[in-house]
């Protein structure tokens, strides 16, 4: 898959997440879907804009860094509505990793590569 195709896929997933947020039953579910939509849309915008000229490894480092920030916020919040927002964001970054796998034509592992590029 080409990067443009991945951007389109992420945009479609973001639209689906926004739709799910609109019809969610609880505030926590709404926030979870909003977190996903925010990240998926943001990464699509990044890949189509400033990230369009970056190589796969640089993009990966940025995504892992952003995911680590969302994960740290989720761990700090621990529970409640705010935690659900961050949980949705982390879940979306995991979806993004799937798209990056397709772009680069290789398998990415959040666990192994995050340890290399992120001080935690």
Q: Rounded to whole angstroms, how far apart are CA atoms 56 and 60?
A: 6
Token pair recorded at residue 23: 């019809």
Between residues 13 and 104, the one the model is more confident about: 13
pLDDT tens, 24-80? 999 999 999 999 999 999 999 999 999 999 988 888 889 989 999 999 999 999 888
User: Which pLDDT belongs to residue 92?
Assistant: 96
User: Which pLDDT belongs to residue 120?
Assistant: 36
Domain assignment of residue 62, given as a range? 3-117
Total domains in the fold of the chain: 1
Residues contacting residue 34 through CB under 8 Å, at least 6 positions apart = 17, 18, 21, 85, 88
pLDDT tens, 88-97? 999 999 999 8
pTM of the model as a whole: 0.83
Where does 22-71 show beta strands of DSSP type E? none
């Amino acid at each position: 898959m080409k990067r443009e195709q991945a951007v389109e896929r992420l945009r479609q997933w973001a639209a689906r997440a926004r739709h799910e947020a609109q019809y969610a039953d609880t505030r926590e579910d709404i926030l979870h879907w909003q977190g996903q939509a925010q990240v998926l849309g943001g990464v699509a915008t990044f890949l189509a804009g400033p990230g369009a000229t970056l190589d796969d490894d640089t993009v990966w480092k940025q995504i892992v860094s952003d995911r680590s920030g969302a994960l740290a916020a989720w761990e700090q919040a621990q529970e409640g509505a705010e935690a659900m927002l961050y949980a949705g964001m982390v879940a979306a970054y995991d979806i993004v990793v799937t798209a990056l796998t397709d772009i680069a034509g290789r398998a990415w592992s959040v666990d192994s590569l995050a340890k290399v590029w992120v001080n935690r």
